[in-house]
Amino acid sequence: MATLPLEVKITLSKSTDVFEPGKYEVKPCTVRTSHATKPPVDLFIVTPIAKGTYPVLLFCHGFLLPNNGYSNLLKHIASHGYIVVAPQVTPPSTSQGSRESISKVTQWLSQGLPLVLPEKVNPDISNLALSGHSRGGKTAFALALGRLDKRCHKKKKSPIRDNPNLPKFKALIGIDPVAGRAISNRGPPRILEYIPRCFNMSVPVAVIGTGYGNQSAAPLIGIPPCAPDGVNHSEFFNESKPPACYFLAREYGHCDMLDDWIADLLIFSKSGKGRDHMRKCVGGIVVAFLKTYLEGDEKDLDVIVSDPGVAPTTLDPVIYVKSEKC
């Protein structure tokens, strides 16, 4: 990966509480397609229950993983004052179907989401962020880029943010995103072009990678790594325009931000020690990034960038490129 120049803002404060649960009590619920609001797919929603209006995070799960398999991570994020909506799009949806389903969910949010939330809890759809893990991370990038088609990457449609029927994403967070099995084996759309800062979008980007994601849990029996080099987190960051952040959780694996009950089943994924630390780390980074670009509060993100040691896991490297260089 071509390393982008580091540009950070140093603050005097060296403390942050984003890695600990927030002040809001939260409630998880599942909304089925049979619900009166007619969501296009089943949804796992985690929301604060206190009266108020909250920003919304749309979360795309990994390939063949359950949306509620991230409940501890999503509860952590929601406890800091966010409504998290996680569509269930696989199985049996194809990659194309995943993008189309989540696109339909974004259209459902404004009318349907207020009707399934606790009383006096309101979503601020104008303050909408997008995130995803693994292949769901690629789906999130494809949505932000407006790439819903199966066609060659040289035949791009207009960006989704220019569609007046869809809300605008104000932040994009890829959690160990993966574009395919290898550079030569990437499903459509092939959003990676291997050109620095080539992604045609203005949304701020954070990429969280894992140090073990490119390692196989059982190389002797031919099990490939979950996040191979060339199609993983480093290339997604390399192609993102500023403002863009990069965090590498060096001692953890591709599925360590999942709940234990599902992560324990994924024996093909090399794991680190103490997944709770990884969930807190990922959740804290997500919260800090959302606070910066949805609420205009940069303090926590600046603290993490200037002193990565405040995180509950080892983050190395940490890169924050705030603007294009002349």
CATH code where residue 251 lies: 3.40.50.1820
Check whether 273 has a pLDDT greater than 60.
yes
Catalytic residues, by residue number, are: 134, 176, 254
Q: pLDDT grade, residue 264 (50/70/90)?
A: very high
Q: Is the pLDDT of residue 248 over 60?
A: yes
- In this prediction, residue 286 carries a pLDDT of 98
pLDDT of 12 reads 44
Per-residue pLDDT at 92 exceeds 50: no
pLDDT of residue 152: 43
Share above pLDDT 90 across residues of the chain, in percent, rounded to a whole number: 78
Tokens of 217: 């849990």
Closest CA to 113 of 99, 101, 124: 124
Q: Which pTM was predicted? A: 0.91
Residue pair 283/321 in contact (Cβ under 8 Å)? The answer is: no
Domain interval for residue 45: 26-321
Q: Which long-range contacts (CB under 8 A, 24 or more apart) does 272-276 make?
A: 272/212, 272/313, 276/72
Q: Alpha helices, DSSP H only, in the chain?
A: 71-78, 95-112, 135-145, 233-238, 260-263, 275-295, 299-306
Residue of 217 and 290 predicted with greater confidence: 290
- Whether 2 is in a domain gets the answer no
Say yes or no to pLDDT of 33 above 70: yes
How much is the average pLDDT of 55-80? 97
Read off the pLDDT of residues 207-237 as tens digits, 9 standing for 90 and up: 999 999 999 887 777 789 999 999 999 999 9
Residue from 213, 257, 203 nearest 235 by CA: 213
What are the angstrom distances between the C-alpha of 105 and each of 37, 43, 291? 11, 9, 23
Q: Does the pLDDT at position 190 exceed 50?
A: yes
Single-letter amino acid code for the residue at 316: D
Residue 82 is predicted with a pLDDT of 98
Tell me if 51 is assigned to some domain. Answer: yes
Within-domain flag for 115: yes
- The answer to whether residue 9 is domain-embedded is no
Is the distance from CB of 82 to CB of 52 less than 8 angstroms? no
- pLDDT for the residue numbered 268: 87
Give residue 96's pLDDT: 60
**92-101, 119-128, 200-209, 265-274: segment of lowest average pLDDT:** 92-101
Number of domains the chain is built from: 1
Q: What is the pLDDT of residue 161?
A: 42
In a domain, 195, yes or no: yes
* Of the candidate ranges 135-139, 157-161, 297-301, the one whose mean pLDDT is the lowest: 157-161
Across residues 63-84, what is the average pLDDT?
97
What is the pLDDT at residue 65? Answer: 95
Gap between the Cα atoms of 64 and 71, Å rounded? 16
- Please name the helix (run of DSSP H) or strand (run of DSSP E) that holds residue 172, with its range, or none: strand 169-175
Question: For residue 188, what pLDDT band results from cuts at 50, 70 and 90?
Answer: confident
CB 284 within 8 A of CB 73: no
Residue 250 has pLDDT above 70, yes or no: yes
- Domain membership flag for residue 18: no
7 located within any domain: no
The answer to the question of residue 186 being in a domain is yes
- The answer, yes or no, to whether residue 122 has pLDDT greater than 50, is yes
Task: Choose among 303, 276, 315, 312: nearest CA to 19.
Answer: 312
Nearest alpha carbon to residue 9 among 323, 326, 234, 325 = 323
Query: In this predicted structure, what is the pLDDT of residue 272?
Result: 95
Give the pLDDT of residue 281.
98
Q: What is the pLDDT, as a whole number, of residue 91?
A: 56
